[in-house]
Structure 1
Amino acid sequence: MGKNQESAKAIIAGVGGVGNISMLTHCATRLRFTLKDTGKADTEALEGTKGVLAVVKQSDTALQVVIGGGVEQMYNDIMALPEMANVKGGEVEDDADDGELTNDQVKAQERAKTKGKNKWVDSFFEFLSDSFRPIIGVLLGASLIIAIINVLIACHVVSNETQSPTMLFCRAMYRGVFYFLPIMIAYNGAKKLKVDPWVGAAIMGAVMTPEFLALADPVKYASIFSTTDGQNAAQSALTCVTNATLGTDSCTTQVFGLTMQLNDYSGNVFVPLLMVAVLALVYKGLQRIIPNSVQLVFVPFLSMLVMIPITAFIIGPIGVWLGNGLGIGLAWMNTNAPFVFAILIPMLYPFLVPLGLHWPLNALMLMNIDTLGYDFIQGPMGTWNFACFGATLGVLIIAIREKDTQMKETAGGALAAGLLGGVSEPSLYGIHLRYKNVYKRMLVGCFAGGLSIAILGWLFPSTLADGTVVRGVTTTAFAFTSLLTIPVFNQMWVYAISIAIAFAVSAVLVATLDYRTPEQKAEAHARIAREQAKASGAAPAAAPAATATAVKAAPKAAPAQDAAVATNEVLAPIAGHAVTLEETGDAVFSSKALGEGLGIADPKDSKVVAPVAGILKTVAKTGHAYGIKTDDGVEVLVHIGIDTVKMNGEGFTVAVAKGQRVNAGDLLATVDFDKVRAAGHPTVTVMTVTNSKKLGGVTPRTGIDVKAGDAVIDIAR
């Protein structure tokens, strides 16, 4: 058993036990659970588990547990638990005869639930993400090797003589990752599209062989040709034209009597991405027409026979043209509008990364290195990363000041992952996206860093090895922007000053202005007081006062409920007729699996209000459900209509947000019940006390007409 044994057990218990898991996989920073019932997951327990940075619920069955850089070890330790013995490869083995969906089908369904209205756009970015994500580790490793080599050169430990055996070997240590990157991406992309990944890798490999390269340079690859006549014939068929913009030669030759444009595809990312998209159509088409008994032989064979020529003649040149065009366009912007470019990149990244929309820019970075010999996007991007890490430092400073152990661990781990690994996800998912005020402070740091790199880059342009003058910071390697990779940047001092400014501005703003709303700050103070009281064995006497003070400081915030006052009644959220849970017509509520409660049928108003005072723990994006937890621990669920989640928010106007404090009677939502009826859904509003079993008694008052604000449920301790 690994070092995370206790945490692994706690995580499985926190998600509702192994019996509640339909599927478990992991990505670069997160454990991805598909659960049979997320209601069984204890979010608070999970977030309090050592090693867990955050918990993100994506849908009714999808739950992500953010771990950070140690996610693979945590995943392995979870899979090593004895109770996980029936789980193979991260997926629970299904009984083939039970008629249930396969794990792949469940995965497809759950991903479909989280997609937006433009599903093809979601699928495209998901394809890009999954094509790159598995090779993040080797890309990071290669960038660190480059950084170490640069440091050794600067310290005169190794010579910078490019043709020396030592330097050639050092280059081979990292060059292999970037040279064979198209094959890796082809493998991952084909796998994502449910095509034999080795077929994708083989097709891309065919146009990277010495034989293919010899078509463009017969002299260099003279050993490929068995005779001098063969070499001369290849050379005579070759026609080359110099590209004035890029300073490179574009060559063509004759194959099967057709003109083929020749390119060096090493390091290219657009060609494999385009190729596997076409391969998926060919491969799956062959699967439909070839009998199952001979598919193993003929589907890969015919796919290669068709796709290798298509890639060499059509897809390859298109991919190179696309990459060159985008790279030249951005290079023009960087040269002619450097201030706009240097500020735009770090200001956009904070919004692109959480949505996974940054992968196209990452692909462009790799293409720039392949075509131009350098990249100019990573410098401005680095200022965003360090602004992000600076904001995390600000949170850590506040956590230390307030003796907030929970946030101190979260921020400390995220900061280490960022500064040493260049990974922003622990900061984003563990802190920034949970406390939106962080973005207001962090964006100032992004702007300051981008402006710094623009000004210094303009005043002190750099000259590349080929004599090209570039304004801004460049790099010849794809690097994760961390402290360890600073040496890979040209104009290193400009880059170092710019990221330091971005880091310091964000850290100071967050540390001085805080990262929480008054309500969030009050809730945190109350939690800290409870934790300290629990640790000392004393009652948390100071918590109510701290909460009241903090909330009073915010003019628009509702006053906190005194923690000493027990919640004895739950009020009606809407006017109508109170009925029993059995009369609501919903099997889950009728079973009281979600606690004791009642329904309010025949709504007389369109406004739904809070039935108790407390913190909103759940606010459905569709506006149909709200979960409120009172200061003394009563948890109330308000569910408007039956199956109204299927309306996707149509007819629901939400007036509150998750984490907000509300008083009894505050507006939660305005509902167009005519639209609910037109959609064929019952209009009964169900209200339950979800933690009824922990209370002394929960008694609903049914069979009566009520107005909003009337007492309808009695609570006993």
Structure 2
Amino acid sequence: MAKYTEDAAKLLDLVGGKENISAVTHCMTRMRFVLVDEGKTDVAAIEELPAAKGTFTQAGQFQVIIGNDVADFYQEFTKVSGIEGVSKEAAKAAAGANQNPLQRAMGVLGEIFAPLIPALICGGLILGFRNIIGEVNFFNDAGAFDLEHGTKSIADMWVFWNGMYSFLWVIGEAVFHMLPVGICWSVTRKMGTTPILGIILGLTLVSPQLLNGFSVAGASAEDIAAHTYDFGFYSFVGTGYQGQVIASLMAAFVLVGLEKFFTKVTPDVVRMIVVPFMSLVPAVFIAHLVVGPIGWAIGDAIANAVSWGLASDVRVLFAALFGLLYAPLVMTGLHHMTNAIDSQMVSIYEYTTLWPMIALSNIAQGSAVLAMIVLQKRNERAQQVNIPACISCYLGVTEPALFGVNLKYKFPLACGMIGSACAAMVCTGFGVKALSIGVGGLPGILSIMFNYWGIFALCMLIAIVVPFVLTLIVGKRQLSAADRGIAKIEAAAEPATDAEPASASAPAASAEPREQALLAPLAGRVMPITEMPDPMFASKVMGDGVCIEPSGDTVVAPADCTVTVTMPASNHAVGLTLDNGVELLIHVGIDTVDMGGDGFACFVNQGDKVKAGTKLLTFDTEKIAAAGHPATTAFIVASTADATDFEFASGMDAVEGKTPVITFCG
């Protein structure tokens, strides 16, 4: 019997049988299923399979983590199941068809906002810093520190900080006021049309030739007259859409629709001239005359409704419901809508009362995992997932905790939801406001208005203590001894007296272990693997290691080794084995398998023996970005056989083939 035949046959039954599988494919480490009914899967039993390292669902695909041998497992699975595998693109299309319209819409919205999050986080930190140095009056008129009767801020007291306060707004304005430019670019990138046309459309929405959207309410008659465009039969006030989210989304989709239509009907010979002109010019007019005002009204209505709910007499109940349900929203992908609502609220009110509750939900789910760390302190396998999941959750990334721990055991998820609801009620009851979005988890306090820091700190404490205590109490009753790692293992052992004495002249079993170093496989910033923007790698399911934000485009061998796995269809990853049996995995980017090899090249074959520094892969970071994927690369130890005491470097800029990033004895 082949190596994985038994596990493959069991997996077929555990996913609901052949009739429950719409499509199946694989990437570098995972089996990817599109299922008719995911409810028929037995997740607990699947994760007990020797070949399986975990499961999770993403973008309509049920994924089973196998590891470097996934290609072999896939071949045996297709044999025992009688199912013919499909391409990655076909599986992705089938997954989309398997989702309802709301799930597909939320998936698209999530992919639109995902590339904008780094800018929003940066802008949020800047606004928080400006708030501290320019909006909080630490000093009285005499220049003494006096928070109670203060009339002067740090910027008022020192010229340097006044200049810093003013200049940092250049970045803050670019992030939040010019947000329509980023939204239009991201929509066109996601929908496969021309991003530069999206950028230009976005620029027309925030043009200085228009009346600034933030000052339109207080504009004078002269300002309105100066920005009125009169076409004889029709005139309108040219109003900018600074900070507007819904209007920008609608305008961008108009552009996408026009470009796709004219691309389809225009002959190739004149397409370069006709399509851009016939797409962009009408889109600009439609944006300003039709969908812009409609989108503005819709955005205002949504933001005002949420604001009313968070300021009304029932705001505590509203907050309790939101705090309770936010974590499940994350698991379904519906939480992406809150980014649009938050951004709209910041645009209208210059603050949001929704984001503080999101940050608290992150903390609450992380605290439930913290309790699981305590409960499972003797379960080494569980701790490999628990610890990095807790850290990432406290830093605002909840997926590893939700899918890797809390959903698996269910009661930590419920305890986290209860703690989140309790913290949200206190937070909203006291009207805590955030200046911006994007900074979640424990660092979320940096986005909160300074005068609310005290009450928000109390809310953070509630979000830490309540889930932690509840999870401890429930976990002691719910977790089995095996789950906690305290089950007694009966093992027969031969008496020591029966053993043959070692010969005094026998040679040593092994030579003295020597320290070995694995060099950076590519140039870039080295970070802990927990910062990898992928829950599977970040939770260390595949092993420990580092991630690298690339500054180059070439992957080289980190040591003398054998190439054991390649991905001919995508060329986005490679598996290596050292002479002592240690297995390594280098995976370029997140979900780059979906690119089908576009922008990637592989220079080695399976079975090749290579020296340290040998070129393995090349990749195009611009194409990866254009496809909407992070280029962050995972470099992990997939197997620790015959090696101990791994040490992982981070926080430095590495040179490929020269900078040691992993050291061990073996």
TM over 0.5: yes
Match in the other structure for 2:483: 524
Query: Partner letter of residue 107 of structure 1?
Result: K
Query: Partner letter of residue 190 of structure 2?
Result: K
Counterpart Cα distance in 1 of 2:364 and 2:120: 22
Match in the other structure for 1:138: 119
Q: Does 1:159 align with 2:155?
A: yes
Quote how far apart the aligned CAs of 1:308 are: 0.6
Q: Does 1:129 align with 2:110?
A: yes
How does 1:258-277 map onto structure 2 within 5 Å?
258-277=234-253
CA 1:193–1:33: 2 relative to 1, 3 Å: farther
Match in the other structure for 2:224: 238
Q: Does 1:476 align with 2:450?
A: no
CA contact (8 A) 2:183 2:245 kept: yes
Quote how far apart the aligned CAs of 1:213 are: 4.2
Match in the other structure for 1:388: 365
Q: Does 1:493 align with 2:454?
A: yes
- Of 339, 346, 354, the match for 1:369: 346
Match in the other structure for 2:336: 359
Match in the other structure for 2:379: 404
How does 1:100-499 map onto structure 2 within 5 Å?
104-113=89-98, 115=99, 119-150=100-131, 158-159=154-155, 164-213=162-211, 238=224, 253-255=229-231, 257-337=233-313, 338-400=315-377, 403-419=378-394, 421-455=395-429, 457=430, 472-490=431-449, 491-499=452-460
Counterpart Cα distance in 1 of 2:421 and 2:51: 35
Counterpart Cα distance in 1 of 2:87 and 2:292: 37
Counterpart Cα distance in 2 of 1:137 and 1:121: 26
Counterpart Cα distance in 2 of 1:128 and 1:280: 15
Q: Which shows bigger deviation, 119-128 or 315-324?
A: 119-128
Q: Deviations over 1:68-104 (max 9, x none)?
A: xxxxxx9xxx9xx9x9xxxxxxxxxxxxxxxx98754
CA contact (8 A) 2:356 2:444 kept: no
CA 1:300–1:102: 2 relative to 1, 3 Å: farther
Q: Deviations over 1:351-408 (max 9, x none)?
A: 21110111222211110110111111112333322221211111111122xx111222
Q: Deviations over 1:330-362 (max 9, x none)?
A: 222222232222222211212211101112222
Match in the other structure for 1:604: none
Match in the other structure for 2:532: none
Counterpart Cα distance in 1 of 2:178 and 2:223: 28
Counterpart Cα distance in 2 of 1:236 and 1:152: 36
How does 1:506-525 map onto structure 2 within 5 Å?
506-514=467-475, 517=478, 521-524=480-483
Quote how far apart the aligned CAs of 1:281 are: 2.4
Match in the other structure for 2:547: none
CA contact (8 A) 2:369 2:390 kept: yes
Match in the other structure for 1:55: 55
Q: Secondary structure at the match of 2:236?
A: strand
CA contact (8 A) 1:150 1:488 kept: no
CA contact (8 A) 2:179 2:244 kept: yes
Which has the higher relative contact order, 1 or 2, with Cα contacts under 8 A spaced 6 or more apart?
A: 2
CA 1:23–1:330: 2 relative to 1, 3 Å: same
Counterpart Cα distance in 1 of 2:213 and 2:414: 55
Unpaired stretches in structure 2, ≥5 consecutive residues:
1-10, 12-22, 36-40, 72-84, 140-152, 495-666
CA contact (8 A) 1:215 1:262 kept: no
CA 1:327–1:217: 2 relative to 1, 3 Å: closer
Counterpart Cα distance in 1 of 2:375 and 2:422: 22
Q: Secondary structure at the match of 1:477?
A: coil
Between Structure 1 and Structure 2, how many residues are aligned?
430
CA contact (8 A) 1:437 1:515 kept: no
Match in the other structure for 2:554: none
Counterpart Cα distance in 2 of 1:503 and 1:385: 10
Query: Partner letter of residue 469 of structure 2?
Result: V
CA 1:140–1:350: 2 relative to 1, 3 Å: same
Match in the other structure for 1:503: 464
Counterpart Cα distance in 2 of 1:215 and 1:386: 35
Counterpart Cα distance in 2 of 1:394 and 1:215: 48
Query: Partner letter of residue 206 of structure 1?
Result: T
Query: Partner letter of residue 242 of structure 2?
Result: S
Match in the other structure for 2:8: none
CA 1:528–1:260: 2 relative to 1, 3 Å: farther
Counterpart Cα distance in 2 of 1:158 and 1:65: 52
CA 1:413–1:60: 2 relative to 1, 3 Å: closer
Q: Which shows bigger deviation, 316-325 or 259-268?
A: 259-268
CA 1:58–1:181: 2 relative to 1, 3 Å: closer
Quote how far apart the aligned CAs of 1:506 are: 0.4
Q: Which shows bigger deviation, 407-416 or 158-167?
A: 158-167
CA contact (8 A) 1:216 1:252 kept: no
Counterpart Cα distance in 2 of 1:109 and 1:289: 28
CA contact (8 A) 1:270 1:323 kept: yes
CA 1:273–1:104: 2 relative to 1, 3 Å: farther
CA 1:102–1:415: 2 relative to 1, 3 Å: closer
CA 1:46–1:328: 2 relative to 1, 3 Å: farther
Q: Secondary structure at the match of 1:159?
A: helix
CA 1:309–1:60: 2 relative to 1, 3 Å: closer
Counterpart Cα distance in 2 of 1:365 and 1:59: 24
Counterpart Cα distance in 1 of 2:171 and 2:359: 24
Counterpart Cα distance in 1 of 2:248 and 2:426: 36
CA 1:255–1:492: 2 relative to 1, 3 Å: farther
Quote how far apart the aligned CAs of 1:304 are: 0.3
CA contact (8 A) 1:159 1:167 kept: yes
TM-score by length of 2: 0.56
Q: Deviations over 1:509-534 (max 9, x none)?
A: 1012208845xx25525x7659x899
CA 1:214–1:176: 2 relative to 1, 3 Å: closer
CA contact (8 A) 1:345 1:377 kept: no
Query: Partner letter of residue 322 of structure 2?
Result: I
Counterpart Cα distance in 1 of 2:117 and 2:51: 27
Unpaired stretches in structure 1, ≥5 consecutive residues:
1-14, 26-30, 49-53, 67-73, 84-99, 222-233, 241-250, 458-471, 540-717
Q: Deviations over 1:249-275 (max 9, x none)?
A: xx8653564233443322221122112
Match in the other structure for 1:615: none
Q: Deviations over 1:659-683 (max 9, x none)?
A: xxxxxxxxxxxxxxxxxxxxxxxxx
CA contact (8 A) 2:329 2:335 kept: yes
CA contact (8 A) 2:360 2:441 kept: no
Counterpart Cα distance in 1 of 2:229 and 2:387: 58
Match in the other structure for 1:562: none
Q: Secondary structure at the match of 1:493?
A: helix
Quote how far apart the aligned CAs of 1:297 are: 2.8
Counterpart Cα distance in 2 of 1:512 and 1:158: 47
Quote how far apart the aligned CAs of 1:508 are: 0.6
Query: Partner letter of residue 377 of structure 1?
Result: L
**What CA RMSD, in Å, does the superposition of the two structures yield over aligned residues?**
4.3
Over the matched positions of the two proteins, sequence identity in percent amounts to 21
